[in-house]
Amino acid sequence: MAFTGVKGTALLFLTLFTICDMRSQNVAINASGAAANQSAILDLDGVSGFAGPNGYKGFLVPRMTNAQRTGIVTLPAAAQGMIVYQTDGVQGFYYNTSVTTTPSWAYLSPSGTGWSVLGNTGITQPATPATYGTSTFGAAENWMGTTDAKDVVFGTANIERMRLFSSGQLSIGTSLVGAKLDVNQVTGTAVARFTTFGNTNDIELRRAQGTQAAPTATSGASTVLGRIFAQGYNGASYTSAASISLETDAAGGTSTDMPGRIVFNTTLDGTGTPLVERMRITNAGLVGIGTIPVTTLDVNGAFSERFSTAAAAATITIPANVSLFRVSATVGVQANAATATGPQDGQYLVIINEDDNACTFAGFTIPAVAAGVAGVGSFVYSGTGAVWRQISSAPSAGGGSGWGLTGNAGTDGGATNFIGTTDNKALSFRANNQKSGIIDPAGPAFFGYQAGKVNTGVRNTGIGYQALTVNTSGSFNTAAGYQSMVVNTDGAHNTALGAWTMFTNVHGADNTAVGVNAMYNIAGDGNTLTGGFGNGNTAVGYQSLYFNSNGQFNTALGFQAYMQNTFSNCMVLGADPFNFCNPTANNQVWVGDNNVTSIKGQVAFGTYSDARIKNNVEENVPGLAFIRELRPVTYFYDYEKELQLSGGKANPAHKGKYDIEKIRFSGFLAQEVEAAANKIGYDFSGVDKPQNGKGLYSLRYSEFVVPLVKAVQELSSENEALKLKMEQVSEDNKEMRAELDRIKMLLEANK
């Protein structure tokens, strides 16, 4: 049955509402007269038969406000599936899910407004909140959660697993609100597990002063940065049994100063006093047990070692893991041959012999008791070689009154016989009545003829003939080698390894020279003082930085690398026996000599290009104007001419020095590039011109990318303009064709 047109529609409603006994299995409402779809009880068509598009018809469901919808408390009859459209608040379709007369409304979320189980794309990520914890989301931002003060609950298998409370606290395995993160585990598996692969596994506990929006430095001493508590349930609540507190140990709060300490606390049984400090480790690595430490290990209280006793006998077995062992006296003659069970590397063992017979252990003898005083032997086990070494023996079983000129026999291998002092005095050696060695408890140590002869500086070490021989106040120097740092007087913090290293240095500081003649000639006139003043240099290799005068903060690595230096903050890497690699100004880095044909690396060399370090940024790079002036060429290097211009010399021992002349290179001529840039007024940084009038031009090919990009952009703009012109020409052609067609029609009509 179908009703069409206005009359048909009126007839439909008249039929539906006035003819009660009329029956039909399906109804169609349309303007085309089409029959109803047999699968539908009501078939609406608002397009067919209507004058469109403005005449097309839609289907309007009942509309009401939020207050009106929620005001429906009781329905005349159950109406599951009933649908309405809400016109305010969260506008949209709502449908009734209840099978009773009390409605339960569900929002019909349109596509794109909900989170899909397959994931979402194109969302609007919320911006960083101005004030975390109080700032609300923007109207257009997408997020997951609630808009009212209700918790967000996560579950699996229809069981709650995690709850995010409206207060911002998160509970896993429990619905009780506690700490910011509250985890409850009832099974036997781990509460948490952190695993990394190829990376460090860090847990960071952080604290700053101030607020989250405006944090300030953690500068005070004894500030708790983080604590770990172990608590047990006492039947009514959880009580702390032990804790580890991570704290600042002194005032700090700078980028390089945040001194810390670790404090261990326990609760004593039956006292009711919770968490008393038992041990701490200070920022300096001092460990205190029962006290605040002032030494490496500071113990307030009794200190006990493992103690074991056995009666004197033919054989005595010392148990494993014993550090103090006593042999008690018995009647008769006993061999008292003692052995230790399962010794460990570094194990310390003291044997006290109270028997009338001596005790043997590991080839050593512990004397018998004498005048009521027990014999004592101290030993340490060395895992290297699996051998016990004696530290001391008392009463002394040795003999003799001194060391003989032709050597001594019968010594105890260093257990009690030694060369040295027993008081706080230096041990000195001489040759030809000249100082040739000193071991000073205050720090300086020298060994070699006249090494450190007049030294008054502190913490110096000189090994070798006349090493640091005239050093006076210079401190913290290390010189090893024949006449190493031989004329140094007050230069400090230097390291020279090799014969004649830093040979002429007098005042230079903070230098490192490794190799024969390395940094040999640190000479020159530093202001008004005579002698070397080159500071902060590092030279590794034979004669590297050999003629350095006052250059500072230079690094030379390789055979004769950077021999002729006069500049500062330069680096030369690679052997350079014929003086090719010579920086022409301060702040240069040179790699390899002119025999190098290839420099390789896994990735390209990076250049700092951070926008934050750039000033006066302008878009004034020429593109095609500069590129058109360039002349790409191929060429071969002239090895001899390169040496002539650079001041270097050919290495006759290097058979492959002319290999580079066999390679055809592609590139530009630096002087032509410079001329091209000058021609168009372009201050191009890709040309490295010799700064002292000597040396060679070089090009930074990576910087050609910038004008090339500009040229491509210019070509792109021209291309777009041409496309527009072509499109206009095409339109003009269409109009001309149309005009020609009209003319043809007129001509045909007039025939």
pLDDT tens-place string over residues 579-603: 667 787 888 887 877 677 677 677 7
The more confidently predicted of residues 19 and 747 is: 747
Q: Is the pLDDT of residue 524 over 60?
A: no
The more confidently predicted of residues 230 and 23 is: 230
Query: Residue 694: which of 639, 649, 645 has the closest Cα?
Result: 645
pTM above 0.85, yes or no: no
The pLDDT of 501-511, averaged and rounded, is 84
Q: Is the pLDDT of residue 69 over 90?
A: yes
Determine the pLDDT at residue 96.
Answer: 93
Residue 666 pLDDT grade (very low, low, confident, very high; cuts 50, 70, 90): very high
* Tokens of residue 317, six digits: 């077995």
d(CA 105, CA 308): 83
- Check: CB of residue 261 under 8 Å from CB of residue 283: yes
Q: Is the pLDDT of residue 58 over 90?
A: no
- Check: CB of residue 471 under 8 Å from CB of residue 487: no
The more confidently predicted of residues 492 and 524 is: 492
Residue 124 pLDDT grade (very low, low, confident, very high; cuts 50, 70, 90): confident
Residue 59 pLDDT grade (very low, low, confident, very high; cuts 50, 70, 90): confident
Q: Name the helix (H) or strand (E) containing 712.
A: helix 705-749
Q: 43-52, 503-512, 580-589 — which is least confidently predicted?
A: 580-589
d(CA 142, CA 109): 14
Determine the pLDDT at residue 674.
Answer: 94
CA distances from 343 to 63, 318, 327, 641, 711 (A): 91, 10, 18, 72, 78
Percent of the chain with pLDDT over 90: 23
The pLDDT of 156-178, averaged and rounded, is 85
* Tokens of residue 430, six digits: 């001489």
End-to-end alpha carbon distance in the chain: 60
Q: Is the pLDDT of residue 424 over 60?
A: yes
Residues, the chain: 751
d(CA 305, CA 702): 69
Q: 286-300, 375-389, 405-419, 710-724 — which is least confidently predicted?
A: 405-419
Determine the pLDDT at residue 6.
Answer: 43
Q: Is the dihedral of CA 206, 209, 215, 217 positive or negative?
A: negative
Q: What is the CA radius of gyration of the chain?
A: 47
Determine the pLDDT at residue 192.
Answer: 80
- Check: CB of residue 454 under 8 Å from CB of residue 443: no
Residue 11 pLDDT grade (very low, low, confident, very high; cuts 50, 70, 90): very low
Residue 395 pLDDT grade (very low, low, confident, very high; cuts 50, 70, 90): low
Q: Is the pLDDT of residue 20 over 60?
A: no
